[in-house]
Structure 1
């Protein structure tokens, strides 16, 4: 079995960093700052900390109120992370490795919440900037990772100017 190349290791390292940062921020929000008892507070300018227990997938879509749905979402997140981990082993570009790491880390971070609490801890609220959802670091990592994967695929398919087809 072939070990990951350097871009794969970058993906794994970034995924681990996202998981740690995500879980530390959620621990602080729940048990140090105690946001559940405060509900919502302004943190500065248009940035608020607002407590939301998200039982849906991304940004509260496709709610999983029942235990079966919760565990199916945990399982799905873990399977996605495993598939991406195998993909990352063969990543041949740095941007792809970074993108895969962000998505893996975000998927596992939110799966941990679902397994522990039955819902994902969301708390970053920038709705005053016309972004209607409350989210967390894992959600942001997934979103940025998907955007980078799309960018990487566009860059990969692009032909240099003057190249013959």
Structure 2
């Protein structure tokens, strides 16, 4: 399962970074492209904060958080024995890794970089492909949890047959 998680994460990372490369090259400072009327448009934004641009003054904290998230997801994915969980964790891993890369290597400097956002959802918020992956992975994990589908095998000592 671990390799499935890594594969999905890598695909999301590559698609997200390629889409950001396109957005930076194709969209000007105030230019936007309507995709679905006023509901979805492409508009380039550099986000120094978290969701809804919160915490813009502490970008370095989000860099540390993203790095810890990548390590924690990869560690947990190593233990996963469920295909749906592996896929969901792959989406989280790919999105978190892409955001971590933006934070490390994009302007204005190392570990203070801004995440490239360009998908505007009717003015409610602006996100990117990694955000879609993170959201989809998180919702999938909630659904799997409510359905009682476990990610890892239970230890027989913790769950004696009886």
2:141 to 136, 143, 149: 149
Instruction: Determine if the alignment matches structure 1 residue 125 to structure 2 residue 120.
Output: yes
Q: For 1:83-115, what per-residue CA distance to the aligned partner results, in whole angstroms no more than 9, with x for missing partners?
A: 110110111211111111111111111121122
Residue 45 of structure 2: SS of its match in structure 1?
strand
User: 1:57 — aligned with what?
Assistant: 50
Kindly tell me the number of residue pairs found equivalent between the two proteins. Answer: 143
User: 1:18 — aligned with what?
Assistant: 12
How much has 1:58 moved relative to structure 2? Answer: 2.1
Superposed, 1:82-93 pairs within 5 Å as: 82-93=71-82
How much has 1:126 moved relative to structure 2? Answer: 2.4
Give me the whole-angstrom Cα distance separating, in 1, the residues matched to 2:137 and 2:92: 5
Residue 70 of structure 2: SS of its match in structure 1?
helix
Residue 11 of structure 2: SS of its match in structure 1?
helix
TM-score w.r.t. the length of structure 2 is 0.80
Residue 64 of structure 1: SS of its match in structure 2?
coil
Higher helix share: 1
Q: For 1:19-57, what per-residue CA distance to the aligned partner results, in whole angstroms no more than 9, with x for missing partners?
A: 1000000001102x1x13343221343321112111111
User: 1:162 — aligned with what?
Assistant: none
Give me the whole-angstrom Cα distance separating, in 2, the residues matched to 1:59 and 1:101: 24
* Unaligned 5+ runs, structure 2: 108-112, 151-162
Q: CA RMSD in A?
A: 1.8
Give me the whole-angstrom Cα distance separating, in 2, the residues matched to 1:91 and 1:50: 38
TM-score w.r.t. the length of structure 1 is 0.79
Give me the whole-angstrom Cα distance separating, in 2, the residues matched to 1:157 and 1:140: 23
Tell me whether 111-120 or 143-152 shows the greater mean CA deviation. Answer: 111-120
